[in-house]
Amino acid sequence: MKKYLRPVLTTLSIVLILSIIFYPKVKPMFSKTQGGPGGGGPGMQGFQQRALNANAMVIGPSVLREMINSTGTLLPDEEVDLSFETSGKIVSINFSEGSRVKQGDLLAKINDRHLQAQLLKLKAQLKLAEEREFRQRNLLSRDAISQESYDQAVTELQALEADIMLLEARIAETELRAPFDGIIGLRYVSEGAFANPNARIARLVKVSPLKIEFSIPERYSGSINPGFPIEFSIDGINQPFTASVYAVDPKVDVRTRTIVVRALFPNRNEELKPGRFAAINLQLDELKDAIAIPTEALIPEMDGDKVYVYRGGQAHQLTVQTGLRTESLIQIVEGLSFGDTLLTTGVMQLRHGMPVNLDQLVSAE
């Protein structure tokens, strides 16, 4: 019998020792100050929901503007790389780099001495042909010659006149003239150089007015028309500038799904230079007395957009319908009213009926 009791007594001793060791670390589930599991009293305060600190705004009338922001480039009104229409040696350059020129000014000249000699010869022949036509006409009036003889004299005269016109056109090709008023840039050739139609002599630019080219998303294609005002700014210049749209590309770019638009800026003082970057702002619409809330206060969900308002110290969830959107604001067309207190921070932690402490309360602009 003692043989079987020995293991049992050993096991009981181990259990007793472990109970003595771990007993001080075991805490009672309910204390006198906490109350029993079904009782009330101060112990129930541990089960109360903790209030969330949040900021809020009182909704009031706002002015909401729908804007398009884009980037563009300043372009000259006219620009051309000047070159001769024919080949030859440059005998004169009549402009200074960076100077202003008028339309029709002679800028450069190619050697045309051989053409001038041919022109002089034709003009001498023309004088004889005119005298012959005059004599033949007088003889024809007296029936002294046939009509065929007179027609031959007229044909010779007309042929000479055509040859002279052709030669004068060839001489004009040796002259490089300004096609419009503008500022001429740097020249790339010198006197004595051999020029051909592929050789660039200089660049002529018209900087007043300037064109502003930019792109807008295709969904706004029906909103922008010639005459639409735009505002743009230039890096390094604090003041904004205004321009007016004068052309809209009739086709949407299939790669970017945008439409190219061009506006015209007078640039009367020539303070802006072509080629500069421009930040474009277009105001499509303006809503007065609108309910506008910050974008961070809106909670998009599967069953609709939600917001939280502050009522009686608690958060109340409302379903709203949105309208116009800007970079920082969203129009609410249904679900909110003027005077509502909208919770704007901590909205992802809020729940319907949760107590809220307001840290900051502001009014809508």
- Strands 241-248 and 229-234, sheet pairing: antiparallel
Question: Measuring CA to CA, which residue among 214, 218, 204 is closest to residue 243?
Answer: 214
pLDDT for 102: 96
Residue 200 — pLDDT band, cuts 50, 70, 90? very high
pLDDT for 321: 92
Which segment of 6-20, 232-246, 269-283, 341-355 scores lowest on mean pLDDT? 6-20
Mean predicted confidence (pLDDT) in 321-329: 85
> Does domain 79-195 bear CATH number 2.40.50.100?
yes
Question: Measuring CA to CA, which residue among 227, 226, 179, 225 is closest to residue 202?
Answer: 179
- The residue that leads in pLDDT, 328 or 215, is 215
In CATH, the number for domain 53-64+289-363 is 2.40.420.20
| Alpha-carbon radius of gyration of the chain | 46
pLDDT for 361: 84
pLDDT tops 60 at residue 21: no
Residue 26 — pLDDT band, cuts 50, 70, 90? very low
- The residue that leads in pLDDT, 48 or 84, is 84
Residue 140 — pLDDT band, cuts 50, 70, 90? confident
**Reported pTM:** 0.67
The contacts of residue 361 (CB under 8 Å, 6+ apart) are 55, 56, 57, 58, 341
Mean pLDDT, the chain, as a whole number? 86
How many other CB atoms sit within 10 Å of the CB of residue 30? 13
pLDDT for 62: 86
- Strands 52-58 and 314-325, sheet pairing: unpaired
The domains of the chain are located at 53-64+289-363, 69-77+207-286, 79-195
pLDDT for 244: 95
Residue 279 — pLDDT band, cuts 50, 70, 90? very high
Assess whether the region 53-64+289-363 and the region 69-77+207-286 belong to the same CATH fold. no
CATH of 69-77+207-286, one of 2.40.10.10, 1.10.3300.10, 3.30.420.40, 2.40.30.170: 2.40.30.170
Q: Where are the alpha helices (DSSP H) in the chain?
A: 2-22, 113-141, 147-173
pLDDT for 13: 62
